[in-house]
Amino acid sequence: MSNSVIIGQYVPGQSLVHRLDPRLKMIMVFLFIIFIFLANSWMSYLVLTLFALLSVVTTRIAPSFVIKGLKPVWFLIIFTFILHLIVTKEGDILFSIWNFDVYSGALWKGLEISLRFFLLILMTTLLTLTTTPISITDAIESLFQPLKRIRFPVHELALMMSISLRFIPTLMQETDKISKAQASRGVDFRTGTIKERLKAVVPLLVPLFVSAFKRAEELAMAMEARGYKGGEGRTKFRELKLKPMDVWIFILFIIVLITFWILRT
Amino acid sequence: MSQPNDISFQNISFQYPQGDEWALKDVSFHIEENEWVAIIGHNGSGKSTIAKLMNGLLTPQSGRIHIKGLEVNEENIWEVRKKVGMVFQNPDNQFVGTTVIDDIAFGLENHGVQRDEMLKRMKYSLEAVKMEGYENHEPHNLSGGQKQRVAIASVLAIEPDIIILDEATAMLDPIGRNSIMETVDHVRSERDVSVVTITHDLNEVLFADRVIVMNDGEVWKEGTPREIFNLHKELGEIGLDTPFVTQLSNSLKSEGIVLNQEPLTHKELMDELWTFYSRT
Ligand SMILES: Nc1ncnc2c1ncn2[C@@H]1O[C@H](COP(=O)(O)OP(=O)(O)OP(=O)(O)O)[C@@H](O)[C@H]1O
Ligand SMILES: [Mg+2]
């Protein structure tokens, strides 16, 4: 598997951020993202950036690892920046390259959008780096609980997510096995035109789908045999309990947000 | 019924909706409390169908099934599934949780067991299958045999009266098979539980008190492993093998070497051979 992409990858650890209640963590990231778009003064950006950097340090994950992990989005961030330099024509002309004028408004706007983008990706990455997928599932199930009243299938959704998580590695292993089996029969996945390569994927996908359906059928049978009858009357093993520490961190977060609000113009 | 059996099948006939033949034809048998019964038979003889009928995954077209005196029907189905634990052939496709502990939790959650009780049951069922310390392992990091042991632990945690193993060891090597059988044997020594093993493995049959032989959807014969394997010729006719030891003692017999008692295991064979040798 590729190790340059770390978005969506969990790094085990015992830091404060790791141990923070996943529900609170999700709420905090969610609020943070909303506030990114409400920032309008450079001071307010400073508050958000400082908080984000503080969070990175607290995770005890090497910053270089996080930065490297953002590699795929660096390009997008820089691209948006340059796009703004070209398109926006506000403020004074700062300087010109060849025949092209760069406006001060463009520089400011470009920096602003890139920073927003960067903070957004950074915080969501931190969430997945420090929270196991199953904890995220638990948090979603717990947070969406009120939606049950409007008949939203919260439990089913969470179960679907956790079963998908459980079967991703299994299906990966299987894909690997099938592609080796097909390669040994002369199917070539690596060379040729895109059309040829797409064609080569068919003998990979068909057996994979057939086996996935068979698995699904057997799994459904096994779940029923183990007494599964939907969410009703079910107890829950994984329980989320707020610790005093969680509350303190959340209060700190709120203080940061209030400071932010004051520093807005 | 005065003394309810653990499992009773009375004149069961069953046909799959898409099937054009009866998978089971007028099948009747009883399994007593605390008994270990092996069901053998050729491919397609109806063994898995029997297993699925036992906990209401399928419903027969005619006949009645009782589990612990409780009739298997719409109404009792959840009660029945609390009493019957089932382990299937493919270890991967019955592992529901993302980790070992979550998988055991799944069944307990389904039956509404409280959390404190869950923790207790998790602990002893993992101990019973010798998988302590694997609580947080993910299924793709476990071997087939370990996954199968977790499946058994999940079943034990429900505290069933009956455990059904439908070719649960078919994907394992001989060592893995033996360790599963010993695990089940060990569990049986600790609490009252009947075991139904469906298998093509003849050594597994020897663990059983009684054998039910299926042929073409019908009960062909019932008896102790010794009685059944003595029918080697008839077994051959319905496409079944006998263990190596039985084959050998038969070959000896046809050579005129008659042993006192039909041996079943290697040890019995050895004993017979040396006593035979010292007699002559
Ligand atoms: N889902 C199904 N739909 C239609 N027919 C089925 C289905 N499952 C099994 N059958 C048929 O029912 C009969 C009994 O099948 P069953 O699975 O009980 O056999 P088995 O003894 O378990 O065989 P094996 O040793 O191969 O596991 C077979 O003839 C089979 O073809
Ligand atoms: Mg079968």
Question: Which chain B residue shows the shortest CA-CA distance from A217?
Answer: B93
What pLDDT sits at residue A97?
Answer: 76
Residues A74 and A97 in one domain: yes
CATH of the domain at B24: 3.40.50.300
**Mean pLDDT, residues B190-194 taken together:** 89
Tens digits of per-residue pLDDT, B220-247? Answer: 999 999 888 888 888 888 888 777 887 8
My answer on whether B234 and B275 are in the same domain is no
Do B120 and B256 reside in the same domain of the chain? Answer: no
Ligand 1 centroid from CA B22, angstroms: 10
Q: Cα angle vertex B5, ends B2, B6, to 5°?
A: 145
Same domain, A101 and A180: no
Strand partners, B166: B198
Q: Does residue A225 fall inside a structural domain?
A: yes
The pLDDT of residue A8 is above 70? no
Taking only the tens place, the pLDDT of each residue in A44-76 is: 999 999 999 999 999 999 888 888 778 778 888
B57: which residues sit within 8 A by CB, 6+ positions away? A221, A224, A225
B150 and B63 belong to one structural domain: yes
Q: Do residue B161 and residue B262 come from a single domain?
A: no
Average pLDDT over residues A220-229: 93
Task: Give yes or no: residues B151 and B33 share one domain.
Answer: yes
**Do B149 and B165 reside in the same domain of the chain?**
yes
Whether residues B247 and B108 fall in one domain = no
Q: B259 and B220: one domain?
A: no
Residue A144 domain-assigned? no
Q: How many angstroms is it from B24 CA to the middle of ligand 2? A: 13
Do both A169 and A41 map to the same domain?
no
Q: What is the pLDDT of residue A2?
A: 41
For residues A79 and A30, state if they share a domain.
Answer: yes
Question: Is residue A97 located within the same domain as residue A224?
Answer: no
Atom of ligand 1 nearest to the CA of B42: 25
Residue (of B246, B273, B194, B259) closest to B36 by Cα position:
B194
* Same domain, yes or no: A90 and A69: yes
Give the distance (Å) from ligand 2 centre to CA of residue A155. Answer: 32
Same domain, A126 and A254: yes
Task: Tell me: do A159 and A200 sit in the same domain.
Answer: yes
Q: What is the mean pLDDT of chain B?
A: 89
CA-CA distance, B191 to A199, in Å (whole number)?
Answer: 57
Per cent of chain A over pLDDT 70 is 97
A100 phi/psi in degrees, rounded to 5 = -110, 125
Q: Which domain holds residue B274?
A: 243-279
In this structure, are B187 and B273 located in the same domain?
A: no
- The reported pLDDT for the residue numbered A100 is 77
Number of domains, chain A: 2
Chain A's closest residue to B87, CA to CA, is A222
Q: Is the ipTM of this complex over 0.90?
A: no
Q: Contact A226/B57, CB-based, under 8 Å?
A: no
Pair A133, A165: CB distance under 8 Å: yes
- DSSP H helical segments within chain B, as ranges? 47-54, 77-83, 100-110, 115-128, 144-157, 174-190, 202-205, 225-229, 232-237, 244-254, 266-279
- Rg (chain B; Cα; Å): 20
A3 and A118 inside one domain: yes
Residues A1 and A108 in one domain: yes
pLDDT tens for A130-168 read 998 889 999 999 999 999 899 899 999 999 988 988 898
Which residues of chain A make contact with B90, given a CB cutoff of 8 A? 218
pLDDT of residue B3: 56
Of these ranges, B201-210, B225-234, B259-268, the one predicted with the greatest mean pLDDT is B201-210
Per-residue pLDDT band at A257 (split at 50, 70, 90): very high
Query: Order of strands, edge to edge, in the sheet holding B70-71?
Result: B24-31, B7-14, B62-67, B70-71
Q: What is the pLDDT of residue B44?
A: 92
Cα A157 to Cα A161: distance, rounded to the nearest angstrom: 6
Same-domain pairing of B178 and B261: no
Higher pLDDT among residues B62 and A188, named by residue: B62
Residue A143 maps to a domain:
no
Q: Could you tell me if A169 and A258 lie in one domain?
A: no
Query: Residue A245 domain-assigned?
Result: yes
Residue A141 lies in a domain: no
Q: What is the pLDDT of residues A80-125, one digit of tens each?
A: 888 888 888 887 777 777 777 778 888 888 899 999 999 999 999 8
Q: Do residue A169 and residue B140 have CB atoms under 8 angstroms apart? A: yes
Its pTM stands at 0.82
Beta-bridge partner residues of B215: B218
Mean pLDDT, residues B183-203: 89
User: Quick one: pLDDT at residue B9?
Assistant: 95
In a domain, A136, yes or no: no
User: With 0-12 CB in 10 A as exposed, 13-18 as middle and 19+ as buried, what is B151?
Assistant: buried
How far is A95 from B262, CA to CA, in rounded Å?
103
Residue B40 has pLDDT above 90, yes or no: yes
B208 shares a domain with B265: no
Domain count, chain B: 2
Domain of A174 in residue numbering reads as 151-234
Q: Do A223 and A254 share a domain, yes or no?
A: no
Tell me, what amino acid is at B68? K
Confidence of residue B2 (pLDDT cuts 50, 70, 90): very low
Q: Of the candidates A134, A222, A226, which has its C-beta nearest B98's C-beta? A: A134
Q: List pLDDT tens digits, range B100-133.
A: 999 999 999 999 999 999 999 999 999 888 899 9
Domain co-membership, B220 together with B201? yes
